[in-house]
Amino acid sequence: MRFEDLRLSAPLLRAIRSAGYRTPTPIQCTAIPHVLAGRDVLGCAQTGTGKTAAFALPILQRLSNGPAHRAAPASRIRALILCPTRELAQQIHDSFRTYGQYTGVRQTVVYGGVNQNPQARALKAGVDVLIATPGRLLDLMGQRLVNLAGVEILVLDEGDRMLDMGFLPDMKRVFAQLPKQRQTLLFSATFSDEIRTLAATLLRNPISVQATPRNTTVEAVDQKCISIERTGKSALLAHLIKDNQWFQVLVFTRTKHGANRLAEYLGKHGVTALAIHGNKSQNARTRALADFKAGELQALVATDIAARGLDIEQLPHVVNFDLPHVPEDYVHRIGRTGRAGATGEAISLVCADDKPLLADIEKVIRREVPREIVAGFEPNPNERAEPIQRGRGGQQRAPQRQAPKREGNEQRRSGQAAAKKTSARPPHAERAAPPSRGEPRNTPRPAKARPADPQRARAAPASTAPRNDASSTVRTNIPGLAPPGHRRGR
Ligand code: AMP
């Protein structure tokens, strides 16, 4: 199928061409006609499948075409896109800007952690599309800077993550201000019972569209685990990065404190690294991300929430320094690599404590992740598993769906408990950062990465399963995606 076959308008086709897209992705092929037809859509799609264009293109077309556009008063928000994190909000904003550049549709983005004045000015000037994280949106609604009475289309992007982050009470307060008569699109990478309940209350006779089979691992990612002693992970990671001369490694830790500590360790061992998490100001996060994207940082150490929605072109390596408590987060994490047709590698460092988490993950992705041992970093076969502590709260690992997904020691409130406490909004990621400017970097910037020392004793991987073993590697090509190396629209 071609974009022209989707009956998109000439200004959109022009923008798609200048973004360098050649053919629509599967989720775009299936979702765009339904959204154009005004149907509610329940989309199962991870980031990296082209889902943003799947809703942005038809929304832009609906807003720029037809009688509603001409009739709309000058300052009426006509489409609201809600998403969980600032980074994702910014990316959606960038996408709308790219795709809508020849349409005349006005759009802006609002999220916390930054000065609200420019956002307020943009809103006063009038926007058709508003992209928002729930907390800042509610703040602006409270100040009567946002009126949602004219919203025709609501999009909830990464719905699963919004629920995981405890946004449901905030979301309900937003929904209460929306017209009942509207089109609603809900996108989620995973489909828990909570998401299904939300969909049942929000969507009317929805069409279900799916980019990937439920809870399977993203395409084109080579996955492996390296067994290692609990205390050896940092040294192993520094070794892997230097020995393989990796650049642009996204490393996941379980806690903010762990992210800071690891970035510092890497810095001291010759690897340029910074940590990003919810305690960092938005400016610090944006700067770290920009340095990482520019190739000035070898490693970005992140918690799940901070890394959510990052779109870094052809990120070659993702490392799970700690395995996530919730198996679906593994899918999200490795979705950072192998994006839009590129091939990526996801490596998990697994000690005795992580084994039950690995077993949970393998159940969810329905495959075994091959194990390796790196010579010189052999695991201690006598190491006993210890309960995994969660931040300062010291909680131990809990069963899968009850696990908190907030950063570090932040507690997740259950949906019901959270819904009862309507006065205090949860301390979520976008709220955690003080709106400070010029926050110092958490680690001194070490000198640029040196190439690996060839004299150094080599630690040859003693692979228990070959890396490209077809039986253990997911390598499904996404039809329609541009080949690696091609410039993408963000
Ligand atoms: P998303 O899943 O929306 O985050 O998109 C992931 C990446 O794929 C973004 O960098 C997009 O610019 C890119 N992309 C989206 N649609 C296409 C397409 N049809 N062809 C090539 N790249 C695309």
The β-bridge relationship of strands 107-110 and 207-210 is unpaired
pLDDT at residue 409 in the model: 31
Asked if the structure places residue 43 within a domain, the reply is yes
Range of the domain at 305: 221-394
Asked if the structure places residue 107 within a domain, the reply is yes
pLDDT at residue 53 in the model: 95
Asked if the structure places residue 473 within a domain, the reply is no
Same domain, residue pair 193 and 244? no
pLDDT at residue 343 in the model: 64
pLDDT at residue 74 in the model: 54
Last residue in a domain, options 153, 175, 210? 210
Question: Is residue 27 within 8 Å of residue 169, measured between CB atoms?
Answer: no
How far is 135 from 141, CA to CA, in rounded Å? Answer: 10
Same domain, residue pair 184 and 88? yes
Q: Show the low-confidence residues of the chain (pLDDT under 70).
A: 66-75, 212-220, 305-314, 336-343, 388-490
Q: In testing the pocket of ligand 1, which one of 21, 55, 161 has its CB within 8 Å of the most ligand atoms?
A: 21
Nearest Cα residue to atom 14 of ligand 1: 50
In ligand 1, the atom with minimum distance to the C-alpha of 21 is 20
343 CB-contact burial (10 Å; exposed 0-12 / middle 13-18 / buried 19+):
middle
Asked if the structure places residue 442 within a domain, the reply is no
How far is 465 from 106, CA to CA, in rounded Å? Answer: 52
Cβ 98 under 6 angstroms from ligand 1: no
Same domain, residue pair 122 and 242? no
Same domain, residue pair 199 and 348? no
Question: Is residue 408 within 8 Å of residue 280, measured between CB atoms?
Answer: no
Same domain, residue pair 250 and 369? yes
pLDDT at residue 116 in the model: 94
Last residue in a domain, options 188, 210, 232? 210
Same domain, residue pair 103 and 157? yes
Q: In testing the pocket of ligand 1, which one of 481, 486, 487 has its CB within 8 Å of the most ligand atoms?
A: 481
Nearest Cα residue to atom 20 of ligand 1: 21
Question: Is residue 387 within 8 Å of residue 356, measured between CB atoms?
Answer: no
Cβ 47 under 6 angstroms from ligand 1: yes
* CATH number assigned to the domain comprising residue 91: 3.40.50.300
Cβ 345 under 6 angstroms from ligand 1: no
Asked if the structure places residue 414 within a domain, the reply is no
The β-bridge relationship of strands 461-463 and 371-374 is antiparallel
Beta bridge partners of 345: 222, 317
Same domain, residue pair 106 and 151? yes
**CA distances to 57, 173, 437 from 80, in Å:** 14, 14, 28
Cβ 310 under 6 angstroms from ligand 1: no
CA 278 to chain centre: 14
Question: Is residue 304 within 8 Å of residue 405, measured between CB atoms?
Answer: yes
pLDDT at residue 483 in the model: 28
**What SS3 class is residue 363?**
helix
Phi and psi torsions of 319, nearest 5°: -120, 125
Same domain, residue pair 312 and 357? yes
75 CB-contact burial (10 Å; exposed 0-12 / middle 13-18 / buried 19+):
middle
Nearest CA to 30 among 41, 38, 16, 17?
Answer: 41
Give the model confidence (pLDDT) of 129-171 as tens digits: 999 999 999 999 999 999 999 999 999 999 988 998 889 999 9
Last residue in a domain, options 394, 420, 435? 394
Phi-psi region of 147 (alpha: psi -120 to 50; beta: other; left: phi over 0): beta
Cβ 87 under 6 angstroms from ligand 1: no
Same domain, residue pair 157 and 75? yes
pLDDT at residue 124 in the model: 92
Asked if the structure places residue 408 within a domain, the reply is no
How far is 28 from 54, CA to CA, in rounded Å? Answer: 4
Q: Rounded to the nearest whole angstrom, what is the distance from the C-alpha of residue 19 to the centroid of ligand 1?
A: 9
**What SS3 class is residue 341?**
coil
Same domain, residue pair 72 and 17? yes
Asked if the structure places residue 419 within a domain, the reply is no
| Cα dihedral 59, 65, 67, 72 sign | positive
DSSP code, position 74 = T
Residue in the block written with tokens 């500590």 = 261
Phi and psi torsions of 282, nearest 5°: -60, -40
The domain tally of the chain equals 2
Residues 6 or more apart whose CB falls under 8 angstroms from that of 349 comprise 225, 226, 228, 233, 236, 237, 319, 320, 321, 322
In ligand 1, the atom with minimum distance to the C-alpha of 340 is 8
Asked if the structure places residue 206 within a domain, the reply is yes
pLDDT at residue 273 in the model: 94
Nearest Cα residue to atom 12 of ligand 1: 489
Cβ 53 under 6 angstroms from ligand 1: yes
Q: Round the CA-based radius of gyration of the chain to a whole number and report it.
A: 22
Give the model confidence (pLDDT) of 340-381 as tens digits: 555 678 999 999 999 999 998 888 777 889 999 999 999 888
Cβ 426 under 6 angstroms from ligand 1: no
Q: Rounded to the nearest whole angstrom, what is the distance from the C-alpha of residue 437 to the centroid of ligand 1?
A: 32
Phi and psi torsions of 371, nearest 5°: -100, 145
Q: Rounded to the nearest whole angstrom, what is the distance from the C-alpha of residue 272 to the centroid of ligand 1?
A: 29
> How many residues are given for the chain?
490
Same domain, residue pair 286 and 380? yes
Same domain, residue pair 156 and 92? yes
